[in-house]
C-alpha cells in the first residue's frame, strides 16, 4: 500500500494544467501550487496532465519543470512526473553512466529488475531502447565488468511468472544449489544467476525459507560472509528486493540519511518510486529497524520545497 | 508484406459471427463459410470476432471450431484464430512437451525469439506464463538439455532494440569473436550466446556481412561445418531467422513438402504465422530456391478444406 493521498474529487486535467501553467508564470515560481497539484495525483492522472499540458500549451511539462525549478526539489518533481518506465530507464542509464559505479548506483538496476512487476521491467527495457538507441543489457555489458555484469544481465532479462505458486520440492533443491555455490564462494555461479534471475518471487521466498531451515542462517547473511565486495552487496540487495522489498527500501532511506550529509538522490528515488506501491510497509519496516519514525527522519534531514514535496508523497495532509 | 486478402468492405463482427454460428449449425459444417470469413480477416478483426462470438453466444469460438472441425483443417483454422501471442505460446509448449525434440520441434522457439518483434516475444512470454503456470525459460530449462538449453534460453530472454542502426566497428569485432568460437567448435560459447541473443537484427545483419567479408564463407556454412548435430542446425536457423527469415520459412515449407508424405504441422505453422507478415517475400524466396512455385507445391501436397484454407491465406481470390 502506498502513501500517496488523492483528493476526494480530482479536478479535470485541464484545470490542473491551468494551475501549473499559472505557477510557472510571472516572477518566481509558485512551488506550493506545483506540490499541491502533482503531489496528489496518481500515475494515470499524471500521464493525463502531461498529455493535456502538451496539447494546451504546445510545450512539454517536463521541460517547464526543468526550467522553472532547481536543485533536489526539481529532480524529485521531475522523476515523479515522468511515466514510471521512462523514469526507471533514466535512473538505470544514470547509474550505468556514472563514474563511480558502486552499490549505491548499481542497486538501482536490481530494484527495477527484482522489486517491480515483470510487465514494468519489460516496459523499462522498451523505454531504455527508445531513449538511448541500445538495449539496457547492451549498456550493462559495456559499462559493468564481470562477474557483476553476468548477475545484472541475468536479472534484467527475467520475465517472472507472477502468481502465488510455490513448489517446495523445487525450493529445497534450489536452496541446496544456492548453498553449494555460496559455500564455494562462487557467487556468479550459473545456478545462482539462473535461480535468482528466472524463478518468480513467491517461489524464491519459499527457497529462502528452505535455505534458512536447512542451513541455519538467512541466505543474505551467508552471502555477506563470502566477502566485503560489491558482488556480495549486490546479491544481498537482490535477495531483499525479491523477498522483502520494504526492508531494502527502508535500508536505502536509512543509509541516505545516516551520518553527516544526506544522499538526496537515493532518498528521492526510494520515496518517488515506492510512494504508490508499498511506502506504508516501508514506513513500518523503517520503524522496526531504527525505532524512530521515517517521517521525522525525512523532516530532520531535508528542507524547503524539497522537504514539503517528499512529505506530500509520504501522505502529509492535503 | 503478407498475402492475406481482406474484402474492400469488412462486415461488422456481429455479421461475421452470425455466419460462423450458422456454419456450425445443423447436420454437417459449412467449411467454405468458415474459410470465407476467418481466412479473410486480419489479426485485430479476428480478435473482435472472437470477443463478439463469446458475448453473443456465451461460448468460445475456439471451442466451437474444436468440436465442429477435424484434422489438419481444424488445427490450421484454430491456430489462425488464436491471438498470435497465445498461438505461439501454445506452439512453443507443444514443441517442449513433444517426445521427439528434434530440429523440427525446437526451431519453433527460435522462430518466435528471432523472427518476431521484441514486443511480440514478450507477449508470448506473458501468454506462456498465463497458460502454463510457469515461464517459457523455466520450461526450456526443464525440457531441453545443455548446450541447446543455453542457446534457447539466451534467445527467448532477448529484448532487441529494433531500429535500423548498425555500428560497423562493433560488427567487425563481433564477427571476429563469432569466428573464434566457431573455429574452436565451441558453439555454445558465451560470446555466441550473448551476441546472437542480445544484438538487434540490423546490427547482426551487419555482423554476418563482416563475417563473410573477413572469413570467406557465410557464417551459417561455417557453423554447419562444425558437425551434423542439432546444435549446428539450430544455430543455422538462428542466423537465418535473424538475417533472412523469408529464407528460413521457404526452407521450412520445402522440407515439409519434399519426399514422401507431408509434415502438415510445419507447413501449417509456416503459412499461418507468416501470412500477415512476409509471405510475399517467402513466396519469392521459395521460387528462387526451388525454381517452382510455392502455391503449386502446396496445391500438390494438400487437399480438401485444408488446401482451400492454406490457399486462402496465400492470397487466393476472394
Within-domain flag for A4: no
SS3 B149: helix
- pLDDT tens digits, residue range B120-131? 999 999 999 999
Query: pLDDT > 90: what percent of chain A?
Result: 94
Q: What is the mean pLDDT of residues A15-27?
A: 93
Look-up of cell digits 538467512: A218
Are the Cβ atoms of A141 and B194 closer than 8 angstroms? yes
Do both B176 and B123 map to the same domain?
no
Q: pLDDT confidence of A318, banded at 50, 70, 90?
A: low
Could you give the ipTM of this predicted complex? 0.84
Domain boundary among B243, B263, B295: B243
Q: B130: nearest CA in chain A?
A: A161
Give chain A's domain count: 4
Cis peptide before A23 (omega within 30 of 0): no
Cβ atoms of A201 and A237 closer than 8 Å: no
| B162 contacts A129? CB cut-off 8 A | yes
Same domain, A189 and A214: yes
Whole-angstrom distance, CA of residue A76 vs CA of residue A69: 10
Cβ of A161 within 8 Å of Cβ of B135? The answer is: yes
**pLDDT > 90 fraction of chain B, expressed in percent and rounded:** 94
Residue A312 clears pLDDT 90, i.e. is over it: yes
The pLDDT tens digits of the residues spanning A292-309 come to 999 999 999 999 999 999
| Alpha-carbon gap: A225 to the closest alpha carbon of chain B (Å) | 29
Q: How far apart are CA A92 and CA A112, in angstroms?
A: 8
The Cα–Cα gap between A87 and B286 comes to: 46
* Domain-ending residue, one of B243, B270, B297: B243
Question: How far is Cα A38 from Cα A21, in angstroms, rounded to an integer?
Answer: 12
For residue range A116-139, list pLDDT tens digits in order: 999 999 999 999 999 998 999 999
In three-state secondary structure terms, A60 is: coil
Residues of B in contact with A200 (CB under 8 A): 135
Query: Of B114, B134, B156, which residue constitutes the final position of a domain?
Result: B156
Q: What CA–CA distance (Å, rounded) separates B31 from B69?
A: 8
Residue A308: name the closest of A30, A64, A68, A60 by CA.
Answer: A30
Residue A39 three-state SS? coil
Q: Which residues of A are less than 8 Å from B136 in CB distance?
A: 159
How crowded is residue A70: how many other Cβ atoms within 10 Å of its Cβ? 11
pLDDT digits (tens, 9 = 90+) for B134-158: 999 999 999 999 999 999 999 999 9
Cα distance between residue A290 and residue A292, in whole Å = 5
Neighbours of B204 (CB within 10 A): 24
B139 and B90 fall within a common domain: yes
Contacts of A137 in chain B (CB under 8 A): 159, 198
3-class secondary-structure state, position A95: helix
Contact A123, A110 (CB under 8 A): no
> Is the pLDDT confidence value at B318 over 80?
no
pLDDT tens for each residue of A34-88: 999 999 999 999 999 999 999 999 999 999 999 999 999 999 999 999 999 999 9
The residues, any chain, with a CB within 8 Å of residue A284's CB and separated by 6 or more, are: A246
Q: What is the pTM of this model?
A: 0.90
Enter the C-alpha cell of residue A95: 547509474
Q: Looking at CA atoms only, how far is residue A106 from chain B in angstroms?
A: 20
Contact between A194 and B119 using a beta-carbon 8 Å cutoff? no
Instruction: Kindly write down the DSSP assignment for every residue of A234-291, as one continuous string.
Output: HHHHHHHHHH-HHHHHHHHHHHHHSSSS--HHHHHHHHHHHTTTTHHHHHHHHHHHHS
The whole-angstrom separation of Cα B202 and Cα B161 is 9
Do B139 and B175 lie in a common domain? no
Closest CA to A2 of A101, A110, A84: A84
pLDDT digits (tens, 9 = 90+) for A248-289: 999 999 999 987 788 999 999 999 999 999 999 999 999 999
Mean pLDDT of A177-194: 96
CA A287/CA A281 separation, integer angstroms = 10
Distance separating alpha carbons of residues A20 and A34, to the nearest angstrom: 6
A113 and A139 inside one domain: yes
Residue of B nearest to A199 (CA): B138
Within-domain flag for A282: yes
With CB atoms and an 8 Å threshold, state whether A159 touches B157: yes
Please give the C-alpha separations between residue A283 and each of A164, A198, A249, A251, A252, in angstroms, as whole numbers. Answer: 25, 29, 9, 11, 12
* Residues in B touching A123 (Cβ below 8 Å): none
Averaged pLDDT score across all residues of chain A: 95
Give B120→chain A minimum CA distance, Å. Answer: 12
> Is B159 in contact with A134 (Cβ distance < 8 A)?
no
Is B161 in contact with A135 (Cβ distance < 8 A)?
Answer: yes
Residue B56 DSSP SS3? helix
pLDDT at B317: 67
Report chain A residues touching chain B, CB-CB < 8 A. Answer: 118-119, 122, 125-126, 129, 133-138, 141, 157-163, 165, 194, 198-200
Q: Which domain holds residue A123?
A: 84-156
Contacts of A129 in chain B (CB under 8 A): 118, 159, 161-163
Residues of B in contact with A122 (CB under 8 A): 122, 159
Provide the shortest C-alpha distance from residue B14 to chain A (in Å): 33
Q: Any idea which residue has 545516516 for its cell?
A: A258
pLDDT at A317 over 90: no
Name the nearest CA neighbour of A87 among A262, A243, A233, A274: A274
Q: Kindly state whether residue B7 falls inside one of the protein's structural domains.
A: no
Judge if A250 and A304 occupy the same domain: yes
Report if residue B220 sits inside a domain: yes
With bands split at pLDDT 50, 70 and 90, how would you rate the model's confidence at B295? very high
CB contact under 8 A, A198 and B158: no
In angstroms, the Cα distances linking B49 to A57, B2, B273 are 41, 21, 19
Are B158 and A157 inside 8 Å of each other by CB? yes
The grid coordinates listed for A9 are 474529487
CATH code: domain of residue B106: 1.10.220.10
C-alpha cell at A203: 517461489
pLDDT per residue over B169-212, tens digit each?
999 999 999 999 999 999 999 999 999 999 999 999 999 999 99
A-chain residue closest to B155, CA distance:
A157
Among residues B111, B138, B126, B139, which one has the least CA distance to residue B252? B111
Of the candidates B133, B141, B161, the beta carbon closest to that of A161 is on B133
Q: Provide the shortest C-alpha distance from residue A89 to chain B (in Å).
A: 14
Query: Is B161 a domain residue?
Result: no
**B204 is a domain residue:** yes
| B135 closest CB neighbour out of A135, A137, A160 | A160
Q: Is the pLDDT of residue B292 over 70?
A: yes
Helices (H) and strands (E) in chain A — how many of each? 20, 0
In terms of Cα–Cα distance, which of A260, A243, A258 is closest to A289? Answer: A258
Shared-domain flag, residues B178 and B239: yes
A·B CB contacts under 8 A:
60
Tell me if B102 is assigned to some domain. yes
Whether B239 and B255 map to the same domain: the answer is no
Residue B2: pLDDT over 70: yes
**CA-CA distance, B81 to B43, in Å (whole number)?**
8
Residues A239 and A178 in one domain: yes
- Does some domain include residue B2? no
Residues A189, A216, single domain; the answer is: yes
Sort out which chain B residues have CB atoms less than 8 A from A92's CB and list them.
Answer: none
Q: Is residue B175 domain-shared with residue B239, that is, in the same domain?
A: yes
Amino acid at each position: 500500500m502506498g502513501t500517496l493521498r488523492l483528493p476526494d474529487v480530482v479536478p479535470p486535467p485541464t484545470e490542473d494544467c491551468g494551475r501549473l501553467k499559472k505557477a510557472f508564470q510571472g516572477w518566481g515560481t509558485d512551488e506550493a501550487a506545483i506540490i499541491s497539484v502533482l503531489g496528489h495525483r496518481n500515475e494515470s492522472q499524471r500521464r493525463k496532465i502531461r498529455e493535456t499540458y502538451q496539447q494546451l500549451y504546445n510545450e512539454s511539462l517536463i521541460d517547464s519543470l526543468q526550467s522553472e525549478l532547481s536543485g533536489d526539489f526539481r529532480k524529485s518533481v521531475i522523476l515523479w512526473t515522468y511515466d514510471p518506465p521512462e523514469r526507471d530507464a533514466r535512473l538505470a542509464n544514470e547509474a550505468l553512466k556514472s563514474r563511480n559505479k558502486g552499490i549505491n548506483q548499481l542497486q538501482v538496476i536490481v530494484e527495477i529488475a527484482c522489486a517491480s512487476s515483470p510487465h514494468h521491467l519489460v516496459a523499462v527495457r522498451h523505454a531504455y531502447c527508445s531513449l538511448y538507441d541500445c538495449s539496457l543489457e547492451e549498456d550493462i555489458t559495456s559499462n559493468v565488468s564481470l562477474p557483476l555484469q553476468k548477475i545484472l544481465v541475468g536479472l534484467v532479462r527475467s520475465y517472472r511468472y507472477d502468481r502465488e505458486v510455490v513448489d517446495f520440492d523445487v525450493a529445497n533443491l534450489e536452496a541446496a544449489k544456492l548453498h553449494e555455490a555460496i559455500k564455494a564462494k562462487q557467487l556468479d555461479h550459473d545456478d545462482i544467476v539462473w535461480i535468482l534471475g528466472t524463478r518468480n518471487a513467491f517461489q524464491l521466498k519459499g527457497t529462502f525459507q528452505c535455505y534458512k531451515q536447512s542451513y541455519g542462517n538467512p541466505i543474505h547473511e551467508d552471502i555477506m560472509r563470502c566477502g566485503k565486495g560489491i558482488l556480495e552487496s549486490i546479491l544481498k540487495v537482490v535477495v531483499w528486493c525479491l523477498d522483502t522489498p520494504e526492508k531494502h527500501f527502508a535500508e536505502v532511506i536509512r543509509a541516505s540519511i545516516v551520518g553527516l550529509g544526506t544522499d538526496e538522490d537515493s532518498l528521492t528515488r526510494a520515496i518517488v518510486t515506492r510512494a504508490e506501491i508499498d511506502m506504508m510497509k516501508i514506513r513500518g519496516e523503517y520503524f522496526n529497524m531504527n525505532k524512530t519514525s521515517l517521517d521525522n527522519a525525512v523532516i530532520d534531514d531535508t528542507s524547503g520545497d524539497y522537504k514539503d514535496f517528499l512529505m506530500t508523497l509520504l501522505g502529509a495532509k492535503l
